[in-house]
Amino acid sequence: MGVTTKDLARICGVSRATITRALYGTGSIKEETKRMILDTAKELGYQPDLMARSLVMGKSRMIGTVVVDLRNQYFPKMIDAIEKRTKESSYMLNISLHEDDKEEEKRLIRAMVGYHADGLILNCINKDADFEKMLGQLGIPYVILGYRVFKNSHTVGVDEYEATYKGVNFILEKGYKEIIFVVPPLYDEDGIPNIGHADRKRGFEDAAGKSGCRYTVMYGDDYLEQALDYMRTKAESRPAFFCSGDTFAGEMINCFSKNGYRLPDDYGLMGYDCVSFYQNFSPKLTTVDNHVEQMGYEAANMLIDMIEGRDVPQNIKIPVDIVEGQTL
Amino acid sequence: MGVTTKDLARICGVSRATITRALYGTGSIKEETKRMILDTAKELGYQPDLMARSLVMGKSRMIGTVVVDLRNQYFPKMIDAIEKRTKESSYMLNISLHEDDKEEEKRLIRAMVGYHADGLILNCINKDADFEKMLGQLGIPYVILGYRVFKNSHTVGVDEYEATYKGVNFILEKGYKEIIFVVPPLYDEDGIPNIGHADRKRGFEDAAGKSGCRYTVMYGDDYLEQALDYMRTKAESRPAFFCSGDTFAGEMINCFSKNGYRLPDDYGLMGYDCVSFYQNFSPKLTTVDNHVEQMGYEAANMLIDMIEGRDVPQNIKIPVDIVEGQTL
DNA sequence: TTGTAGGCGTTATCAG
DNA sequence: CTGATAACGCCTACAA
């Protein structure tokens, strides 16, 4: 690859050890030779081979992150924040995408270890014991994003239960007497529960049940039809729909508006995720802000602490906030 | 770091060379010892050290990409596509973000080279001759995204000129008699022109000028006020606004709707970029689809061809399309 | 079929 | 202050 210390040594007429001393100020060296070496290094455009360095140091100052994809704003926002934190400590961030493929996720994690990543930030879709064991054997620290998948892993996430609990109470305070919670399927194709949405649902049911209001939960891909049907045949008062994701909420606005239902006169709507997009659009969506940037930042922070040998809590919960828009 | 070939050699009672032969099928080896070695390798969870391998091979099967950030959907979409292509040839993609910081961009590029990236995909903000020289000295191939910054670099982009030209004609066909082109500043703070937007503007002016319609260009951060002012005092007919970016178009819809202007009865609107978001929302935005996924895919494809020593064209232009929505 | 030796570019240790 | 020498984990001759 380009110029090496060996080349420099030959050209400057000194040993490789002296070159190192000049470049990194370790040990003592004559000011004159140092200057000479630095000058020629600069002139020849010497760039250290970070791989070779990592090989001998056992550290790479590289942090790996493996997430599903960048399709909606969730991970892009989070990664921007992770990036900010890693940059502060001059780590390089290596992002890769598993595209919802479990084997690919494992491959990527192994590759990251193979490239000597000092630590990993993961959005893992594998949830079985084998995978947990694999993580444990990695030999480097890792932080899981979102919610607690494994008891013994470090996690940064939001308290989904509390979040929906809060959300329901916010809706009730606005005077609504019936609430429909809209969630995607609670189980993946392979029957493993989607912990996040399941927690949200529990929070919803507990809060709604406790209040004595009328409530129901709506699952499935045809939720738009279900929701329309609800409006036409089941609603007793002006209902509020609480969508477990801003994207669903966006689709509902669209669909309902086409069917002549006006917001917030005919129904109320609350989202979840606070995807910036819907915040710039009118009507501005009332939603649960789960502070993805903060999550990313804290995850990176936690990981760096672990890499550098500092004590960290095992779990960090990011508190959520309700962002009031014009849809309730 | 975990188990090495050295460990395996010791445990299996053979030399390191034999281990390599067993693992990668080079040279001949007794079936029995091979099986034995593979079994213990699996049992002990041997993972090759990719850095060490890269060091000796001079190739890393890693492609680096340096882009500004992941804030809007432009780069996330493109990166998803890049990722798809790199995965097809089993390269690992290393994404990093320069956050609009010129020095950081250089640092990251150097770091990628330091990590033995086999090639780079860049969204570069540095545009001076020094930077071009630096790129030339990298020793690895690279592809620039967007538009042709440097004559001698390989580029994948869209023909911005033709795109706006097409856009204008589309607007005219809809019967509009006056068109306002809305662009961000054409020069960066340091006085270097933003080539993409400049090309778009030229395309706009040429097409509009040729048609003999009434037209003007609107710059600056206060474009919303300028646009409102135009509506109130200057418009002679129902004008069409052609925004050099869907985001601007989104903001215009919002602002105009608050001021009582209805779409498309009071004005027409055309965007640029085809950010999916606006495509799911109503009114669906009529916009120029510059096919960012295709751009990403082609860029990765071109780079891989270069890495693997195949001939490639120096420039690839992705054709644009007009996506008809409900705003014209 | 297998083992030995050398090198990739770096850093660390120990002599000189 | 400086120079050998060894090591990190891997691969590729070449020799046995």
Query: What average pLDDT score do residues A297-303 get?
Result: 98
Averaged pLDDT score across all residues of chain A? 91
| pLDDT reading at A17 higher than 80 | yes
Query: Please, is B211 exposed, middle or buried when counting C-beta atoms within 10 Å of its C-beta (0-12, 13-18, 19+)?
Result: middle
B280 beta carbon to strand C: under 7 Å: no
Give the pLDDT confidence of B90-128 residue by residue, as tens digits.
Answer: 999 999 999 999 999 999 999 999 999 999 999 999 999
Give the pLDDT confidence of B191-239 residue by residue, as tens digits.
Answer: 777 777 888 999 999 999 999 999 999 988 899 999 999 999 999 999 9
Q: What angle do CA A148, A152, A157 make, to 5 degrees?
A: 25
Q: How confident is the model at residue B1 (pLDDT cuts 50, 70, 90)?
A: low
Cβ within 8 Å of residue B328, ≥6 positions away: B170, B171, B174, B176, B240, B264, B268, B269, B270, B286
According to DSSP, residue B115 is labeled T
Our CA dihedral for A22, A25, A28, A30, rounded to 10 degrees, sits at 40
Of residues B64 and A26, more confidently modeled: B64
Of residues B142 and B192, more confidently modeled: B142
* CA separation for the pair B6, B12 (Å, rounded): 10
Averaged pLDDT score across all residues of chain B? 91
- Which nucleotides on chain D have any atom < 7 A from a protein Cβ? 1-14
Give the pLDDT confidence of A175-188 residue by residue, as tens digits.
Answer: 999 999 998 777 77
| pLDDT reading at A293 higher than 80 | yes
At B234, list the tokens: 């200057």
Give the pLDDT confidence of A53-98 residue by residue, as tens digits.
Answer: 999 988 899 999 999 999 888 899 999 999 999 999 999 999 999 9
Q: Which domains does chain A have, with CATH numbers?
A: 5-48 (1.10.260.40), 62-157+292-316 (3.40.50.2300), 160-289 (3.40.50.2300)
Whole-prediction pTM: 0.89
Q: At what angle do helices B160-173 and B195-211 cross, to 10 degrees?
A: 40
Q: Which residues in chain A are closer than 8 Å to B139, comparing Cβ atoms? A: 1-2
Q: Which residues in chain A are closer than 8 Å to B106, comparing Cβ atoms? A: none
Query: Please, is B225 exposed, middle or buried when counting C-beta atoms within 10 Å of its C-beta (0-12, 13-18, 19+)?
Result: exposed
Contact A220, A173 (CB under 8 A): no
B55 beta carbon to strand C: under 7 Å: yes
At A149, list the tokens: 């998948």
Query: What average pLDDT score do residues B51-66 get?
Result: 92
Q: Which residues in chain B are closer than 8 Å to A251, comparing Cβ atoms? A: 280
Cα–Cα distance list, B322 to A26, A97, B97, B159, B267 (Å): 61, 30, 30, 13, 19
Question: Distance in angstroms, CA of B109 to C1' of C15?
Answer: 40
Closest nucleotide to B56, Cα to C1': C8
pLDDT of residue A196: 79
Of residues B275 and A174, more confidently modeled: A174
Query: What average pLDDT score do residues B167-180 get?
Result: 96
- A49 near B CB under 8 A: yes
At A157, list the tokens: 């996430």
- B83 near A CB under 8 A: yes
Give the pLDDT confidence of A89-127 residue by residue, as tens digits.
Answer: 999 999 999 999 999 999 999 999 999 999 999 999 999
Supply the Cα-derived Rg of chain B in whole angstroms.
Answer: 26
3-state secondary structure of B182: strand
Q: How confident is the model at residue A1 (pLDDT cuts 50, 70, 90)?
A: low
* CA separation for the pair A67, B59 (Å, rounded): 25
pLDDT of residue B81: 96
